[in-house]
Structure 1
Amino acid sequence: MSTTRERTGGARSLTERVDSTTLLLAVCLVPLAAFFLVVWVVPILYALGMSLFEAPVRNPQFVGFGNYVAVVTDDGFVNAFTNSIVYAVSTTVLSLLLGLGLALAINQRIRGGVALRTLMIFPYLLPTLVVIFLWKFVLDPNIGILNQYLVDWGLFEEPIAFFSTLTWAMPAVVITSVWKFASFAFFILLARLQSIDPDLYERARVEGASSWQAFRDITFPHLRGAILIILLVRGIWMFNKFDIIYLSTRGGPLDATTTLPIRVFEIAFEQVAFGQATALAGVMFFFLAAVAVVYFTVFTPAEEVTG
């Protein structure tokens, strides 16, 4: 009889614990789900819904996928899409390489490493407008320091208006962006480097491994997950970046730096075609969603980071 009561009491206690856990999960997850629904899902669905209407704000008329067809077949779409890819890939890769190089150098305890690590945060903290003014001054054809050195060293015969020429406008915007955002990769990679066990390098030296072999077999495998995360997150951010390009070149000259975000702005506020603007934003959303799906299908960033 006592054994039966003990079993009944144990089952009841287990049921009460399960109920308490379920209640706790419900209390925590329901507000989170509601926040996710209100902040993310509803705006996305509303924007995608607007893209199916002509003049959705003033006089909405349902046109289905007509807006998508219009923006994709527009003469400026291919140029803007290509510029977006070039800008996102170049700034992301160069920021990663610069951040990686500096992180490896500082991790070796070089002289002045602490000061350099402190200085690396300042470009990221500076307002974008200040960064634009700074680099427009540096690259100015009349008083710019860089132009002066390039002419003095004989690399160019005359100063170049970097932000105003078809050839150099995109590189100038890329350089400005890399200078500002390289610290993002730098701090992530430096934190990952400092978590590697120093004994691994000591064993590699004892076994006669070169610096390159140590980087290939020890450093890079530990950094691979962080590098993949930086490529995804930074790539998406730079693909959607608007302010640096708009403030420095307004998409010019002759659409040389016009990216998809700039094109969305032009369609919405210059052509006042909000339906097509939201359709183009929808194209960007679906493209980036596809990139993210492929990324998480091919790679396993969670295992890479913890591995």
Structure 2
Amino acid sequence: MSTALKSRLEAAGSALRERDVDGTTLLLAACFVPMLAFFVVVWVIPIVYALGMSLFASPVRSPEFVGLGNYAELLGNGAFWGFLWNSVVYAVATTGLSLVIGLGLALVINQRIRGGDALRTLMIFPYLLPTLVVIFMWKFILDPNIGILNQFLVDAGLIDKPIAFFSTLEFAMPAVVVTSVWKFASFAFFILLARLQAIDPDLYERARVEGATTWQAFRDITFPHLRGAILIILLVRGIWMFNKFDIIYLSTRGGPLQQTTTLPIRVYQLAFSEVNFGMATALAGVMFFLLAGVAVVYFRAFAPEKEVA
């Protein structure tokens, strides 16, 4: 092949590649514009509007600009810190227990035990049940008069009289946590089981040949492969449970004596019970900034996107 012909072929190939690049760029630009518009309409405008409302004392009826006054009043109120503590306790407890239970069940079922397929199928049902059905079921189980748990505890001599779990200061939050964990532990279970089944079995075989114990295999093989999934579960489920409203509201309405009143419950009370939309949007704004700060710190500290694939 002559040098001139070779040069012309290379030039033609370069032109084709440039046209492909230009076409891809145009396609990405065509997709980016509507996506950006959708993001602005669905996310940016509502957030800006809500934050703007938080700067007024009565943003709906007779707007009076107070600047950061709502935030100052909110943060200066001792009750706010109690509601924040309830939110943190609820989010940490439900997320942690869901992760531990989901991981334990995933490790067991991943061993191909008898009945594992049936158990894996059953694990999806709590997640599919409507929240209202779950609340009715657990209220029946924990009922002080006809609840099977109270009956068992009394018959076993563990308690002297039935306990109204959802109505007592000591047990209201644990009862709500147990209800939430029962419903949402399957979220962690399926993610972790899928990740476990993607691990190369040859890694465990080599570890056994080299004399590694079960704990050493988990520490050096299983956990490094699960770490990214665990971090994602902690972030997603933690934010989800921090913002959770329906389970608490349907089971306790935030009681007794605000023992289970979390920040989302308090936002609802301020907006629809006390008709104080300025304070309600300010509290929602505080929640937004808190979670945004946690997310930024989380991604900087753990970088889950760099975990083992």
Q: How far did residue 5 of structure 1 move? A: 6.4
* Residue among 2, 16, 19 paired with 1:16: 19
Q: How far did residue 31 of structure 1 move? A: 1.2
* Residue among 61, 77, 87 paired with 2:64: 61
Deviation per CA, 1:32-85: give whole Å up to 9, x if none: 111111111111111111111121112212111011112222232011000000
Q: Does 1:133 align with 2:136?
A: yes
Other-structure match for 2:194: 191
8 Å Cα contact 1:226/1:305 also seen in 2: no
* Residue among 80, 83, 97 paired with 1:80: 83
Structure 2 unaligned segments of length 5 or more: list them: none
Q: Does 1:170 align with 2:185?
A: no
Other-structure match for 2:151: 148
Deviation per CA, 1:66-107: give whole Å up to 9, x if none: 111122222320110000000000000000000001000100
* Residue among 101, 114, 117 paired with 1:114: 117
Q: Give RMSD over aligned pairs.
A: 1.6
Other-structure match for 2:298: 295
Other-structure match for 2:272: 269
Matched residue type, 1:175:
V
8 Å Cα contact 2:126/2:186 also seen in 1: yes
Q: SS of the residue aligned with 1:217?
A: helix
Q: Does 1:34 align with 2:37?
A: yes
Alpha-carbon spacing, 1:272–1:201, altered in 2? closer, same or farther (3 Å): same
* Residue among 206, 209, 222 paired with 2:209: 206
* Residue among 181, 184, 205 paired with 1:181: 184
Other-structure match for 1:284: 287
Taking structure 2 as the reference length, what is the TM-score of the superposition?
Answer: 0.95
Other-structure match for 2:228: 225
Structure 1 unaligned segments of length 5 or more: list them: none
Task: Give distance in 2, aligned partners of 1:98 and 1:146.
Answer: 20
Q: How far did residue 217 of structure 1 move? A: 0.8
Matched residue type, 1:96:
L
Task: Give distance in 1, aligned partners of 2:142 and 2:21.
Answer: 66
Q: Does 1:157 align with 2:160?
A: yes
Matched residue type, 2:91:
A
Task: Give distance in 2, aligned partners of 1:133 and 1:118.
Answer: 23
Taking structure 1 as the reference length, what is the TM-score of the superposition?
Answer: 0.96
Q: Which aligned runs of 4 or more in structure 1 are off by greater than 3 angstroms?
A: 1-15
Q: How far did residue 7 of structure 1 move? A: 6.9
Q: SS of the residue aligned with 1:131?
A: helix
Deviation per CA, 1:106-161: give whole Å up to 9, x if none: 00111211111000000000000000000000000111111111112221111100
